[in-house]
Structure 1
Amino acid sequence: MENEKKIESYVVVHNIAKRHNVGTLARSATAFGVSELILVGRRDFNAFGSHGSTSHVRFRHFHSLSDAKNFLKERDCDICGVEITENAMAVNQHPFKRSTAFLLGNEGTGLSAKECEICDFFVYIPQYGCGTASLNVTVAASIVLHHFGAWAEFPERSREGNKYVVAERPTKQGKRNYCMESAESIAEERKLKKENASNGFFDEIGKEESPSNLLDTLFAG
């Protein structure tokens, strides 16, 4: 582990089929010390299942996976795909080296080829029972984030009775369930809209994935 630098974890939300899973992901993210939850494509999200935890984790928005990748690489962060691939390592082996962003696949189809391309390595969650082929994306996220937190030696939160102590809710910033950005980011978005007027403002989406179709695909269900 690199003791000289602060170890951080991120969750990248790109192609989650059920929108309410984002709220539950946020709850797991706050429980296991995630620094930021990164939304790719669509800004708004459903906070169902978050139990107020969305106020305690930072949301950041990017138009494309490559933009998200560039942001993470600037922070010396590995990108880990949570998927059973030929070279995937068991998450309980803790194959981590530095700050890591976790990209989880769609509940039905897993990680797409485009998503796999930005990953530096892959982990999978060993299963021991015979009753299901895969886990719900929020359950998988909880297991993986817990393992990373244990490896990174994140300090355990203090407890009161049979519950963990919840911090005071930060001052509310921006619109509810909507990822706000800085003036600089908004200016960049306007620029992208003009440059990509024919294909919408998702700069890496091909013509076969129009913005209207993408919005239905990203958070359908």
Structure 2
Amino acid sequence: MDAAGPDGGRDVRREGVEVGVGPWPGGEAAWPEDPRYDPELLAHGDRRNVVDRYRYWTVEAIVADIDTRRHPLHVAIENFAHDMNIGSVVRTANAFAVAEVHIVGRRRWNRRGAMVTDRYQHLRHHDDVAALLAWAGAAGLPVLGIDNVPGSVPIEGRTLPRDCVMLFGQESTGLSPAALAGCAEILHITQYGSTRSINAGAAAAVAMHAWMVQHAEPAPA
């Protein structure tokens, strides 16, 4: 069962296993003076789903540290039906430290799948595809659509631009006609089974990883 942690983040508990760390050993007298540490977490323990190097850090300190090494990859997803996959996309984007996740369409989306990673990941909203394309054009970023439509090319082995936006569509319908028309290139993930498409959240993870393989530096220890 998950429960709210001291900073409002989600504790991660597994059957018979306590995840994370307890209160800082030695009590308050032994607390580090580093301002990145959260007194509430030091006092009560840190059960959040964060890597060990961020144990006891405040959310703000974690975001500031990730900001020093975010990748120039942006990820966008169309949201015309409160798509539950957005949470999964945000969680994966956080894992890969992408620059921003852009949500196109409705502002409201199901955050459960993000597992509180939206606190650590920069998000930007655009009212429609035209607004996203205008933003990308002003930023000088090509938009790559990810969808298995006629005319798309395999992402495997494709040289991906370092600075770009990857755009994903709805789970059921894929990219909208406006999105397809505005993309510099349409890529697809090669499949070998019977299903027409894979889950949108899974597709985003595969595409982001393809970019990381080409451009990312080794992860910090």
Q: Where do 1:8-23 residues align within 5 Å?
A: 8-15=72-79, 17=81, 19-23=83-87
Give the superposition deviation at 1:44.
2.5
Give the superposition deviation at 1:86.
3.5
2:164 to 80, 100, 106: 100
Give the superposition deviation at 1:36.
0.6
Contact kept, 8 Å, 1:16 with 1:105, in 2: the verdict is no
Contact kept, 8 Å, 2:82 with 2:108, in 1: the verdict is no
Q: Where do 1:171-210 residues align within 5 Å?
A: none
Give the superposition deviation at 1:59.
0.9
2:152 and 2:139 map into 1 onto residues whose CA distance is 24
Residue 212 of structure 2 aligns with which residue? Answer: 149
Give the superposition deviation at 1:105.
1.9
CA 1:94–1:157 in 2, change beyond 3 Å: closer, same or farther?
Answer: farther
1:26 and 1:7 map into 2 onto residues whose CA distance is 14
Contact kept, 8 Å, 2:77 with 2:170, in 1: the verdict is no
Question: Normalising by structure 2, what TM-score?
Answer: 0.63
1:53 and 1:98 map into 2 onto residues whose CA distance is 24
CA 1:64–1:153 in 2, change beyond 3 Å: closer, same or farther?
Answer: same
Residue 56 of structure 2 aligns with which residue? Answer: none
Give the superposition deviation at 1:45.
2.3
2:131 to 19, 43, 67: 67
Asked which structure has the greater RCO (Cα within 8 Å, sep 6+), the reply is 1
1:68-96 Cα deviation digits (max 9, x unpaired): 11211222211011112333221121331
- Does residue 1:56 correspond to 2:128, yes or no? no
2:76 and 2:161 map into 1 onto residues whose CA distance is 18
Contact kept, 8 Å, 2:73 with 2:162, in 1: the verdict is no
1:151 and 1:42 map into 2 onto residues whose CA distance is 32
Residue 191 of structure 2 aligns with which residue? Answer: 127
1:161-199 Cα deviation digits (max 9, x unpaired): xxxxxxxxxxxxxxxxxxxxxxxxxxxxxxxxxxxxxxx
Give the superposition deviation at 1:41.
2.3
> Which letter maps to 1:33?
A
Give the superposition deviation at 1:97.
2.4
1:101 and 1:11 map into 2 onto residues whose CA distance is 5
Q: Where do 1:74-113 residues align within 5 Å?
A: 74-113=138-177
1:48 and 1:16 map into 2 onto residues whose CA distance is 18
Contact kept, 8 Å, 1:22 with 1:45, in 2: the verdict is yes
Contact kept, 8 Å, 1:16 with 1:107, in 2: the verdict is no
Contact kept, 8 Å, 1:104 with 1:111, in 2: the verdict is yes
Contact kept, 8 Å, 1:33 with 1:149, in 2: the verdict is no
1:108 and 1:20 map into 2 onto residues whose CA distance is 12
> Which letter maps to 2:205?
S
Identical-residue share of aligned pairs (%): 26
CA 1:111–1:19 in 2, change beyond 3 Å: closer, same or farther?
Answer: closer
Give the gaps of 5 or more residues in structure 2: 1-69
Contact kept, 8 Å, 1:82 with 1:124, in 2: the verdict is yes
Structure label with greater radius of gyration? 2
